[in-house]
C-alpha cells in the first residue's frame, strides 16, 4: 500500500491534473475500482491524496478551486463528503470537512485531513454498507423517478415529454445518492431503460419475459440497439452472474428484432438499488438473514446436538452438516437456527432454478453455484453458509443416468469445497454412501414430543392455561403444525380448542 501511495504522489502531484480530469493514467483504474467512482472523481481524489502527502496537516480545497464556479466547487465538496458517508473511513466531526450544511456560505478553510485521505486507500476499510435510513431515501428517489414512466404507460404523456421530465429529475438528484451515482454512469437512453426495468418489476402484472418487449413498444426503437444497452448495464453492475440473468431466444446467438425473447431476473433488478454490495444475488442464490418469529424449541437430545454442532462450526471443526428426517421435523428451521447461532449469513440455493436445466445445463449451474459462493466470500470478506434444502430435488431430477452423473459431480465439488455447507434431506436412504461420507456431522431430526410441544406453546403464547397446554400437546403434531397452532391460538383464542385444532389439520 505504501508503494501505491508513493506512486499516486509521483503521478498526481501536479496542478495541471485539474485542467483535464477525464484523462486516465495507470492509477486511475485502481482508484475507480476501489471506491466505485468515475474517472474525474478518481483523478481528483488522487490529486488530493498527493497534496496531503506534502502537507501532513491536510489540503485546503479552496486553494485549488479558485477558478471553478460555485456549483463545481460544491460538487467537489459533495464528492469528498460522500466518501466519508460511505463509511470507507470513520471520522470525528469536522475532521473531513468544515462546511455549511445549507450550502449557502462557502468556508475558504474547507479542508481534507491528510491521514483521512490515506486511510481511504486501505482496502480493508471498504465496507460500503447502506444504512436503513439511506435505503429509505433511495426508495423514495426511485419512486419519484418511476412515476413519470407510470404516466407514460397510461398514455398521459408522450415519450418526448417523459424524456425531458426524467432528465430534469435525474439532474436534480443529490449527487451523493446511490441512485444518482449508478445512473450517472450511463447515457440518458440507458438511464431510461434501467428505470423502466426497475419500474416494471414493481408491476405485478408483468412477467420477466414481457418487460423488454413493452419497453421497445413504448420507445418505438429498434430492439437490437437497445439490447446492447441492457448488456452494458448487466456487464457493469452484475458481472458475476450475468449469464444467469438473461436468456435470449433459448440461447440462440443469431438474434433478429423479430425473434428476441428476453427474460430478466426480477429479484436482481430490485436488489440492484437496494444493496449495492450484494449484486451477486439471484433467484438461484438467495441471500437470507432469517429471523424466526417464535422461540425455537426442539426435543432435548436434538437441542444438545445443535449446541455441539454450533460450537464446532464456530471453532472451524465442522464444515459440512447433513440434516435428515421426515417432512415437518424442523430440518429447514435447524439450518436457519444454526445460521443465527453461529452469526453466519445463509445463502440458500433455489432448486426450482435447476429444473429447466435438468437435461442440458444442470452441471453448469451447479458449478456456478459453488463459484459464485466462493466469490461472495471473497467480496464480503466473511464466511457464509451454503444451504441446499431437500438435496434430493437437486440430485434426482430425472433418469438414473442423469442422477448418477449429477451426484458424482456434486461429490467432486464437496471434496474441493472449503466453506460451510448445510444440506437437508427427507430421503436419507436415497443418498449413496460415498456422498454421506463427505459430511462431518449427520443430524437426525424427530417430530416434537409432548414435552417439546408444551414448551413451544408456553414460550410463545402468554395467556394460555396449563390445562389447555396439556390438552393440545396430546395431539401428534409436526413442527409446522405446532407453529400454525401458535398463530391460530393467538388469532382465535376465544374459539373452542377443538375448532383451533381442526384449523391446523
pLDDT at 315 over 50: yes
Comparing CA positions, the residue from 188, 153, 197, 158 lying closest to residue 170 is 188
Yes or no: say if 172 and 161 are a contact pair by the CB < 8 Å rule. no
Q: Are strands 420-425 and 385-388 parallel, antiparallel or unpaired?
A: parallel
Q: What percent of the chain has pLDDT over 70?
A: 50
Yes or no: say if 53 and 101 are a contact pair by the CB < 8 Å rule. no
Contacts of 360 (CB under 8 A, 6+ apart): none
413 — alpha (psi -120 to 50), left (phi > 0) or beta?
Answer: alpha
493 — alpha (psi -120 to 50), left (phi > 0) or beta?
Answer: alpha
> Can you give the pLDDT at residue 402?
62
Lowest mean pLDDT among 453-457, 481-485, 500-504: 500-504
Helix (H) or strand (E) holding 153: helix 132-153
Grid cell locating 387: 444451504
Give pLDDT tens digits for 339-361: 989 988 888 887 766 665 444 45
- How does residue 106 score in pLDDT terms, banded at 50, 70 and 90? very low
Comparing CA positions, the residue from 38, 42, 50 lying closest to residue 5 is 50
Determine if the pTM surpasses 0.75.
Answer: no
pLDDT at 235 over 60: no
- How does residue 184 score in pLDDT terms, banded at 50, 70 and 90? confident
The superfamily (CATH) of domain 285-444 is P-loop containing nucleotide triphosphate hydrolases (3.40.50.300)
For the chain, what are the domain ranges? Answer: 2-125, 132-277, 285-444, 460-504
Strand, coil or helix: 420: strand
Lowest mean pLDDT among 84-93, 216-225, 450-459: 84-93
Maximum average pLDDT range among 50-64, 138-152, 284-298: 138-152
Helix (H) or strand (E) holding 287: strand 285-288
Grid cell locating 505: 389439520
What CA–CA distance (Å, rounded) separates 77 from 72?
A: 9
Strand, coil or helix: 347: strand
> Can you give the pLDDT at residue 504?
63
Amino acid at each position: 500500500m505504501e508503494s501505491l501511495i508513493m506512486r499516486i504522489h509521483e503521478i498526481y502531484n501536479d496542478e495541471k491534473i485539474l485542467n483535464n480530469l477525464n484523462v486516465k493514467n495507470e492509477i486511475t483504474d485502481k482508484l475507480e475500482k476501489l471506491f466505485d467512482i468515475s474517472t474525474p472523481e478518481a483523478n481528483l481524489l488522487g490529486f488530493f491524496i498527493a497534496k496531503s502527502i506534502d502537507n501532513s496537516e491536510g489540503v485546503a480545497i479552496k486553494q485549488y478551486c479558485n477558478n471553478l464556479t460555485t456549483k463545481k466547487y460544491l460538487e467537489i465538496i459533495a464528492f469528498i463528503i460522500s466518501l466519508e458517508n460511505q463509511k470507507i473511513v470513520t471520522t470525528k466531526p469536522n475532521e473531513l470537512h468544515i462546511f455549511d450544511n445549507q450550502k449557502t456560505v462557502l468556508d475558504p478553510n474547507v479542508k481534507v485531513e491528510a491521514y483521512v485521505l490515506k486511510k481511504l486507500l486501505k482496502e480493508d476499510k471498504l465496507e460500503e454498507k447502506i444504512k436503513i435510513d439511506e435505503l429509505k431515501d433511495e426508495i423514495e428517489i426511485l419512486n419519484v423517478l418511476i412515476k413519470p414512466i407510470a404516466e407514460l404507460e397510461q398514455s398521459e404523456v408522450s415519450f418526448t415529454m417523459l424524456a425531458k421530465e426524467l432528465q430534469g429529475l435525474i439532474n436534480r438528484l443529490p449527487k451523493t445518492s446511490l441512485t444518482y451515482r449508478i445512473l450517472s454512469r450511463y447515457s440518458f437512453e440507458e438511464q431510461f431503460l434501467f428505470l423502466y426495468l426497475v419500474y416494471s418489476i414493481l408491476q405485478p402484472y408483468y412477467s420477466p419475459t414481457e418487460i423488454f418487449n413493452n419497453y421497445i413498444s413504448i420507445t418505438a426503437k429498434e430492439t437490437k440497439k437497445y439490447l446492447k444497452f441492457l448488456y452494458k448495464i448487466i456487464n457493469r453492475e452484475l458481472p458475476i452472474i450475468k449469464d444467469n440473468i438473461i436468456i435470449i431466444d433459448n440461447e440462440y446467438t443469431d438474434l433478429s428484432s423479430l425473434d428476441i425473447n428476453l427474460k430478466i431476473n426480477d429479484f436482481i433488478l430490485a436488489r440492484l438499488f437496494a444493496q449495492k454490495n450484494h449484486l451477486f444475488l439471484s433467484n438461484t442464490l438467495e441471500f437470507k438473514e432469517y429471523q424466526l418469529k417464535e422461540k425455537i424449541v426442539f426435543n432435548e437430545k436434538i437441542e444438545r446436538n445443535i449446541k455441539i454442532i454450533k460450537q464446532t462450526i464456530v471453532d472451524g471443526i465442522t464444515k459440512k452438516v447433513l440434516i435428515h428426517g421426515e417432512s415437518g421435523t424442523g430440518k429447514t428451521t435447524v439450518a436457519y437456527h444454526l445460521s443465527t447461532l453461529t452469526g453466519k449469513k445463509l445463502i440458500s440455493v433455489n432448486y426450482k432454478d435447476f429444473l429447466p436445466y435438468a437435461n442440458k445445463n444442470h452441471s453448469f449451474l451447479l458449478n456456478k453455484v459453488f463459484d459464485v459462493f466462493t466469490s461472495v466470500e471473497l467480496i464480503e470478506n466473511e464466511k457464509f453458509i451454503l444451504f441446499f434444502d431437500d438435496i434430493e430435488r437437486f440430485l434426482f431430477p430425472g433418469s438414473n443416468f442423469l442422477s448418477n452423473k449429477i451426484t458424482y459431480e456434486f461429490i467432486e465439488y464437496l471434496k474441493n469445497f472449503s466453506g460451510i455447507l448445510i444440506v437437508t434431506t427427507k430421503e436419507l436412504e436415497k443418498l449413496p454412501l460415498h456422498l454421506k461420507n463427505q459430511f462431518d456431522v449427520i443430524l437426525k431430526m424427530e417430530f416434537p414430543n409432548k414435552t417439546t410441544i408444551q414448551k413451544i406453546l408456553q414460550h410463545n403464547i402468554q395467556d394460555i392455561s396449563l390445562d389447555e397446554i396439556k390438552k393440545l400437546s396430546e395431539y401428534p403434531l409436526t413442527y409446522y403444525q405446532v407453529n400454525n397452532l401458535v398463530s391460530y391460538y393467538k388469532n382465535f383464542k376465544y374459539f373452542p380448542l377443538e375448532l383451533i385444532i381442526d384449523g391446523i389439520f
